[in-house]
Structure 1
């Protein structure tokens, strides 16, 4: 039975194991007619759907279509560009139907609005998944578990190191020259929800740090950062971890700390820093973020 399934699916297109590609991949099964896959979109950012089957020209249904630009729809591609009006809106649905008589006849996608990050390309395959693909996923899972175990061992080793300056020296992040930091001339994008008074960047082997002095407008509600993303040359994206001592209030400015692990990234820049809160209503985009170069290693 397994040989029969594998043989019949030998030429089928299937999603690669997780981690092998940056693009999103969705597989549709013949018995998954009522399945709804979630796709993350963002205002002003194009999201392209690439199908392995021809689409019906009259089979497209897009909820709230007036808030989208449907750019150059083709037989097997569909590009959606959400307008700025969609920011803060509830999720909408996209439904497409295929030109042939195969199952599933249609596919539905739930479009989730994110203030800063959208999935740029989503590939959709209708073929059943072969045994080889399942085995490849298991192999990837074993490899990922091994990587996580190694990361856990590294974190345990770091806990055994001293804190403070002693820990910085012992970890190799600082030598007798210290950690290079600099105050930068940043660019605050128009219509920013918050104001930034000072931006300082620091660089250590394997780490980058951004310190941002924030101030909220009068009568603004408390603001707490949920996510941070640095976008560099060639659209390289680096997710940052945030330390915010307390919510930002109109009469209480604070310094926000964003740290990024960057082992093999050229860190001179310039980068764009995006910050957003939990509900996505108020965002902050800071451009021209550059980092001091190290005497040795990444960032030269």
Structure 2
């Protein structure tokens, strides 16, 4: 079996675990505690959150319990959070990271990401996202990536973040930041799964020696329920899931693994980190058990062939409604 590393080494020599716990769409205190507890118990050491997820304080309380009990040390964990869209002005970066650190009860995060290339105005100190009356995001077209990145770099120099990176940026935007950076971006986080494999952008990142993190490695299966709910604002989302693909099911049967384990293994064999989200302790454990088998060449070929490119994207213009006309909307470019 190929020796698959459980970590990705960042440019500053920090180790980012190749599998972590995603926490998007998990805002209940009970759900967050159950997920963090289950993840840490089975060996996860990478937790991903964001200001806009509304769960940093609950995660902070869960982590503090583990620290106080002596079950894990801070230096053993890799904690990532993100600058929100309304923080996309250089003078706001310090403030929003400060809020995240206070909520997480940490003196630093291991990774601080620019969550999205587009900015929003501040419309209230407690808003997770500024929305108009229709529920669409309110855009601030004055976003300056280089100026924001300089403010992100200052967080590293101040010791409040070990590394800084980007999320959902396209190749053109990545290059602009990379060329202006004094501190290299640590990674790019983006939607990536078997239906949206992002081959061109991943290759571009490899050329920049920029690791990739898949923030939706299972294509957010909960969207299937939301898309079928007539009372949901998500009815416009595509009703597709690689978890239900017959190719994935066949390979899962062959290896006696779950479809989720097959999809996660497919990404990590490409050298891509994954942060699957779940609140189910059994699934959290299963998602972590992907190091005891290997996909062979035929498996990989079959999984590569189900790529739907941008047609398989979930987080698209419909999801980011209100941002389509922003000059930095990332999905207007081919990749």
Common fold, TM-score beyond 0.5?
A: no
Q: Which has the higher helix share?
A: 2
CA radius of gyration, larger in: 1
Tell me: higher relative CO, structure 1 or 2? Use CA pairs within 8 A at least 6 residues apart. Answer: 2
Q: Which has the higher strand share?
A: 1
TM-score range with shorter-chain normalisation?
A: under 0.3
> TM-score under structure 2 normalisation?
0.25
